[in-house]
Structure 1
Amino acid sequence: MAAIPGDESDARMTAELGRRISALRKDKGLTLVALAARTDLSQPFLSQIERGRARPSMPSLHRLASALGTTTPALLSGGVRGNGSAAEVDSATVSLVRVDQGSMAAQSNGQVKSLVVGERSMYPLEFVTSVTEFEDYYEHPGAEFIYVISGHLEVDLADDGIHLIGAGDTLYFAGGVRHRWRIVGVWPARLLVTQLGTDDASQNIASEHM
């Protein structure tokens, strides 16, 4: 049976993320056993991730990023230049990511894709989410901006209120604001989420969205 192009690109993205995690682990001098202990993830599961045979969930990716001394958006976007890069153009000044490139991770009832490669001053992410119940709050030092492409989303900003947003609506909140979300209705929500990142022109601030 012929391979489905979407499946092929997903497989490439998963493999690229696995190679990145493996390279960072080795740079840190960590064994799979040590990384498993730091993340509370099983060694066989980590091995599957590094070989591109399993895609980590967003909570698992968050644990991996923390254990490897980086952030979730940076881990997703930190592609390898040259052969096997996750972008068509990945230079110090330009990142061009085609539709079948980039890195993806699973989340509860959905997925997230990085829309840039490399260390950048901002990290735009594309979320497709079907989460219907609020999960735990997340908090990070960098500001975040949400643009709803389709669907409806209820965003709980803790002390800053609960906000219902739909297609075309935007929501910005500063770093340090606790937040979580869930969809409203039966259809998934598709979102453009941009988080503050790091490069030579910015402070060492980045964020993980969970």
Structure 2
Amino acid sequence: MTAIMENEQPIGGRIRAARELRGISLRRLAQATGLSSGFLSQLENGRSNASVATLKKLAAALGATTAELIDGTSPEGRVLRKADRPAFHDGDGLVKYLLTRTPQRNLEVYAGEIEPGGGTGEELYVHGNAQEVLVCLTGQVEVRLAAETYVLDGGDSIEYLSSTPHGLRNIAGTRSEVMWIISPPTP
């Protein structure tokens, strides 16, 4: 699964910069995340992709938020043009766009486009203990929260704590669009 940045510095470079800024070796980051040094090296060099769950692990180990790994800019204005939105592809049919930026960010907002059968991956993930709202804008998605499963149609939303193991999958025959709203931002 690859996190491919669509603007500015690739996400692998951002991860390397965050790691080096904090004086963390590749080996130490591997130990902290449970990921292999080889995989992390490939990710930092743009030869591998990262799932949402992997980005959450890396952000937590680096003391950053996922949004900070995705978006390395700090614009003065609050307008974020569609063409300038930081985005990544996780390789499982999900494209996730960051809609908020530092320094004003007190919450994270993401928009996602999910191809049929795509999603956040089989592994449920957690990040921090924030309030998270998922809105299904179009299509139909299956949301897993721990042992429970919910189906959301366009216009439906679900609210949960980000510390609850969660994941989602597009169960529609067409692309589904979703939005995540998380407050406060999580690692």
Shorter-chain TM-score range = 0.7 to 0.9
Counterpart in the other structure of 1:76: 70
Structure 1 residue 24 corresponds to structure 2 residue 18? yes
Contact 1:16 1:103 in 2 (8 A): no
One-letter amino acid of the counterpart of residue 16, structure 1: P
TM-score by length of 2: 0.76
Cα deviation, residue 118, structure 1: 2.3
Counterpart in the other structure of 1:54: 48
Q: How many residue pairs get matched?
A: 180
Counterpart in the other structure of 1:86: none
Contact 1:146 1:170 in 2 (8 A): yes
Q: 1:168 aligns with which of 147, 152, 155?
A: 155
Counterpart secondary structure, 1:99: helix
Larger RCO (alpha carbons 8 Å, 6+ apart): 2
One-letter amino acid of the counterpart of residue 165, structure 1: L
Counterpart secondary structure, 1:164: strand
Q: 2:124 aligns with which of 119, 126, 136?
A: 136
Distance 1:31 1:157, change over 3 A: closer
Contact 1:15 1:53 in 2 (8 A): no
Counterpart in the other structure of 2:98: 114
Cα deviation, residue 134, structure 1: 5.9
Q: 1:154 aligns with which of 132, 135, 142?
A: 142
Q: CA RMSD in A?
A: 3.1
Counterpart in the other structure of 2:83: 99
One-letter amino acid of the counterpart of residue 18, structure 1: G
Larger Rg: 1
Cα deviation, residue 125, structure 1: 1.0
Cα deviation, residue 29, structure 1: 0.6
Cα deviation, residue 156, structure 1: 3.3
Distance 1:141 1:108, change over 3 A: same
CA distance in 2, matches of 1:15, 1:50: 11
Summarize deviations over 1:76-103 as a string: whole Å, max 9, x none. Answer: 23x134xxxxxxxx13x62524324414
CA distance in 2, matches of 1:132, 1:115: 18
Taking every aligned residue pair, what percent have the same amino acid on both sides?
A: 26
Counterpart in the other structure of 1:202: none
Distance 1:55 1:115, change over 3 A: farther
Cα deviation, residue 177, structure 1: 4.2
Counterpart in the other structure of 1:3: none
One-letter amino acid of the counterpart of residue 186, structure 2: S
Greater shift after overlay, 181-190 or 142-151?
181-190
Cα deviation, residue 146, structure 1: 1.7
TM-score by length of 1: 0.69
Distance 1:69 1:178, change over 3 A: same
Contact 1:74 1:123 in 2 (8 A): no
Structure 2 gap ranges (5+)? none
Structure 1 gap ranges (5+)? 1-9, 82-89, 198-205
Cα deviation, residue 42, structure 1: 3.1
